[in-house]
Chain A
Amino acid sequence: MIRVSVQSAAIDIAAEFDLHDAGGHGASASFIGRVRGDDGLAELFLEHHPQMTEAGLAALAHAASDRWKLSALTLVHRVGAMAPGETIVLVLTSSAHRAEALAAVEYLIDRLKTDVMLWKRESFADGRVQWVEEREGDQRRAERWE
């Protein structure tokens, strides 16, 4: 089962895990990305493309399920405004044994950072607003999977 969602509502981790885990799997792995409150960050805003962001996540999910033998895959990304501590992204993968689930989770979060149409804008308590710049390390991590 593949579940992909782009949503402005808060990500309900427990509900997503219950949905993902229906029926039970031998091994499940997860990644949860949260908003860091560094440097007095007040708000993180995620801009997205109304169609292509979800299409990009779905393409990644299918690429992962082609590459590893997965029994379930959940990929949920938040968009819009969020506060420090809130969940931005949730990746859940399951397979019969741990190796495939762990590798798929790492692949999905690495590729998501370079391949999917999402842009972060930070607003700080002192009034500064800035778009987040891409990190060279993210590009290198994503290229490992080619």
Chain B
Amino acid sequence: MALNIAYFSWVRERMGVAGEMVDLPADVGDLGALIAWLAARDGRGALAFAEPNRIRAAIDGSMTGSDAPLAGVGEVALFPPVTGG
């Protein structure tokens, strides 16, 4: 399944890109599995996603938890906890 991923803050810096289109293996079904897959894929992913509990996510613009399914999703954003205000 093709999926569009956007990265922000130090996740973006560690990944070296602001976003990418990936072709997901069939067994990557939810956000937690996606983060584990990115961490295992290469060195930059290992660096960005070494601590999954520090990663937050939004699916098509809505903040969501790591058990959120990816089927039918347009864009996943991955980032550290927000620090605005």
The interface of chain A, by Cβ under 8 A from chain B, is: 33, 46-47, 49, 51-53, 55, 77, 88-89, 109, 112-121, 131-134, 138
Contact = CB atoms under 8 A, between A and B. Distances in A.
At the interface, is chain A mostly helix, strand, loop or mixed? mixed
Nearest to A116: B84
Interface stretch (B5-13, B22-30, B32-40): B5-13
B61 A55 contact: yes
Given A47-B8, A55-B61, A131-B10, A117 B82 contact: yes
Nearest to B13: A131
Nearest to A135: B83
Best-buried of A51, A52, A115 by chain B (most CB within 10 Å): A52
A120 B83 contact: yes
Contacts of A89: 84-85
A131 B9 contact: yes
Given A47-B9, A121-B9, A134 B84 contact: no
A132 B63 contact: no
B9 A77 contact: no
A22 B63 CA distance: 35
A119 B85 contact: no
A52 B58 contact: yes
25 contacts: A49-B77, A51-B61, A52-B58, A52-B77, A55-B61, A77-B84, A88-B84, A112-B84, A112-B85, A113-B85, A114-B81, A114-B82, A115-B63, A116-B85, A117-B82, A118-B83, A118-B85, A119-B8, A131-B80, A131-B83, A133-B81, A134-B80, A134-B81, A134-B82, A134-B83
